[in-house]
């Protein structure tokens, strides 16, 4: 949620739409992902070429080292009055932290959450802080829910959260982590095999002409569903596992869901000569999709895959994929994130409100006394 808000705000800025100022606070106890969120936002700004628009600050050197930023003392030294002027000028600010982790250095009566500021500067700080009207609360909710579900002591809030996993519920959040998983697995394959990773862009045009910057930004924001499962960027390497995502030649087993291994990649004739530095770095950014990708499919012995005429190759890395393409393709290991699983049907609340066994409850107490 927090990342999506920042990403959408940045997108509107790049499109020249002049979005309203974003003043957001992200709270959360230790370990709920505040630092990971900031890392993702940093990568977003870097990927779209806007790293110079993002300034990261913290009060201590230790915190700065973790986020790759600067201390407030070394970053412009923004006093309260100067910060007020920046806020009035439309500067967007994101605050991340947790009031419960450490006590305020100057005392509770001078904290931002103090309802009765003791000085004019404290009052000014409080006034600025209350302008932050977008609030996200990160929390390890599932750890608590699982603990209560284990003994049949779930609350009504727990049941509401669990019911969000049911696909027929309107609040169900349907995630997709397969792209990130496949990217990581492809990087691991290249690292272990020594093969060079090729970053292959889609070749798009409008009325036969190359896309303008605004059009490229719009295309980059399209989902895989909008592009008929053809990604904006495709990572390829010799020896990696891939899956065909279109029915190219069903008789020859080149069908949606077929898996295999890349054995050869022929570049487009328009491609510039690849620099030796890029090859040594293990990652090459191409200007065009490859002309030919030769596959060795898992379930048949066929001639090499001929060149494809699509704007992008209908392939995806085959390290993570949805279950409807998994028939007969057992994965050796699986990692389950409970918060992202989906339930096909509703459930009886009593499953989470009754202890499964009184004897087990007594045994749990006995085991606890021995710890």
Q: What is the pLDDT of residues 17-58, one digit of tens each?
A: 888 888 888 877 666 678 888 888 988 888 888 888 888 887
Question: Which residues, given as ranges, of the chain have pLDDT below 50?
Answer: 80-81, 301-302, 305, 308-310, 323-329, 371
Residues 58, 92, single domain; the answer is yes
Q: Which domain holds residue 288?
A: 178-325
Residues 102 and 199 in one domain: no
Q: What percentage of the chain has pLDDT greater than the value 70?
A: 69
**Residue 317 burial by CB count (10 A; 0-12/13-18/19+): exposed, middle or buried?**
buried
Tokens 């600067």 found at: 70
Q: Are residues 21 and 155 in the same domain?
A: no
What is the distance between the alpha carbons of residues 353 and 282, in angstroms, rounded to a whole number?
Answer: 54
If asked whether residues 209 and 321 sit together in one domain, one would say yes
Percent of the chain with pLDDT over 90: 8
Q: Please check whether residues 29 and 130 belong to one and the same domain.
A: yes
Q: Are 178 and 337 in contact (CB under 8 A)?
A: no
- How many angstroms separate the CA atoms of 26 and 43, rounded? 18
330 assigned to some structural domain: no
Q: Does pTM surpass 0.75? A: no
Are 211 and 313 within one domain? yes
Residue 52 token pair: 């110079």
Last residue of a domain, one of 139, 160, 186: 139
Residue 108 lies in a domain: yes
At what angle are helices 141-150 and 156-163 packed, to 10 degrees? 110
Torsion of CA 283, 288, 292, 296, to 10 degrees: 40
Longest dimension (CA), the chain: 80
What 3-state class would DSSP assign to 125? helix
Residue 333 lies in a domain: no
User: Which ranges in the chain belong to alpha helices (H)?
Assistant: 2-14, 34-47, 61-67, 80-88, 120-129, 141-150, 156-163, 178-193, 213-220, 276-281, 350-353, 358-370
pLDDT score at 326: 46
Instruction: Say if residue 145 is exposed, middle or buried (CB neighbours under 10 Å; 0-12, 13-18, 19+).
Output: buried
Do 183 and 171 fall within a single domain? Answer: no
Of the candidates 199, 305, 211, 225, which has an alpha carbon nearest to the alpha carbon of residue 258? 305
DSSP 263-303: EEEE--TTPPPPPHHHHHHTEEE-SS--SEEEEEESS---P
For position 77, which CATH number holds?
A: 3.40.50
Q: Which 8-state DSSP code applies to residue 84?
A: H
How many whole angstroms separate alpha carbon 66 and alpha carbon 70? 10
Q: Residue 221, Cβ neighbours under 10 Å: how many? A: 14
How far is residue 312 from each of residues 10, 11, 210, 291, 308, measured CA to CA in Å?
27, 24, 15, 10, 8
Q: How many domains, the chain?
A: 3
| Whether the Cβ atoms of residue 297 and residue 158 lie closer than 8 Å to each other | no
Q: Are 72 and 86 in contact (CB under 8 A)?
A: no
pLDDT at 252: 58
Task: For 87-114, write each residue's pLDDT tens digit.
Answer: 666 788 888 877 766 666 777 777 777 8
Measured at the CA of 121, the angle between CA 118 and CA 125, to 5 degrees, comes to 100
- Domain-located, residue 82: yes
pLDDT confidence of residue 300? 58
Residues 171 and 220 in one domain: no
DSSP state letters, 150-171? HTT---HHHHHHHHTTBTTSTT
101 shares its domain with 220: no
The whole-number pLDDT of residue 204 equals 80
Separation of alpha carbons 329 and 119, rounded Å: 67
Domain shared by 278 and 297, yes or no: yes
Helices and strands, counts by H and E, the chain: 12, 14
Same domain, 187 and 316: yes
What is the distance between the alpha carbons of residues 17 and 217, in angstroms, rounded to a whole number?
13
Asked whether residue 361 is assigned to any structural domain, the reply reads: yes
> What is the structure's pLDDT at 148?
81
Rg (CA), the chain: 26
Whether 106 and 169 map to the same domain: the answer is no
Which DSSP letter does residue 354 get? S
pLDDT of residue 358: 66
């Amino acid at each position: 949620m927090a990342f999506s808000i920042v990403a959408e705000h940045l997108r509107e800025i790049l499109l020249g739409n002049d979005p309203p100022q974003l003043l957001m606070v992200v709270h959360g106890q230790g370990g709920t992902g505040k630092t990971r969120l900031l890392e993702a936002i940093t990568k977003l700004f870097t990927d779209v070429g806007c790293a110079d628009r993002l300034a990261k600050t913290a009060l201590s050197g230790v915190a700065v080292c973790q986020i790759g930023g600067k201390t407030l003392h070394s970053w412009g030294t923004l006093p309260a009055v100067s910060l007020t002027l920046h806020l009035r000028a439309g500067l967007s600010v994101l605050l991340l932290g947790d009031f419960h982790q450490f006590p305020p250095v100057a005392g509770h009566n001078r904290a931002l959450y103090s309802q009765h500021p003791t000085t004019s500067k404290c009052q000014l700080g409080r006034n600025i802080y209350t302008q932050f009207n977008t609030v996200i609360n990160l929390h390890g909710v599932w750890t608590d829910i699982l603990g209560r579900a284990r003994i049949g002591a779930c609350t009504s809030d727990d049941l509401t959260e669990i019911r969000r996993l049911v696909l027929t519920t309107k609040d169900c959040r349907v995630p997709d982590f397969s792209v990130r998983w496949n990217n990581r697995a492809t990087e691991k394959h290249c690292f272990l095999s020594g093969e060079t990773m090729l970053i292959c862009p889609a070749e798009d045009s409008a009325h036969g002409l190359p896309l303008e910057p605004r059009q490229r930004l719009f295309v980059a924001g399209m989902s895989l569903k909008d592009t008929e499962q053809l990604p904006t960027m495709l990572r390829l390497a010799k020896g990696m596992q891939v899956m065909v995502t279109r029915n190219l030649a069903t008789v020859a087993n080149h069908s949606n869901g077929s898996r295999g291994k890349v054995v050869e990649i022929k570049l487009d004739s328009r491609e510039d000569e690849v620099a030796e530095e890029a090859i040594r770095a293990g990652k090459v950014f191409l200007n065009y999709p490859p002309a030919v990708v030769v596959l060795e499919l898992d379930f048949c012995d066929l001639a090499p895959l001929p060149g494809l005429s699509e704007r992008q190759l209908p392939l995806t890395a085959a390290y993570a994929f949805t279950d409807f393409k998994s028939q007969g393709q057992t994965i050796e290991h699986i990692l389950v994130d409970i918060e992202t699983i989906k339930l096909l049907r509703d459930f009886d609340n009593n499953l989470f409100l009754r202890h499964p066994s009184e004897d087990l409850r007594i045994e749990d107490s006995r085991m606890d006394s021995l710890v």
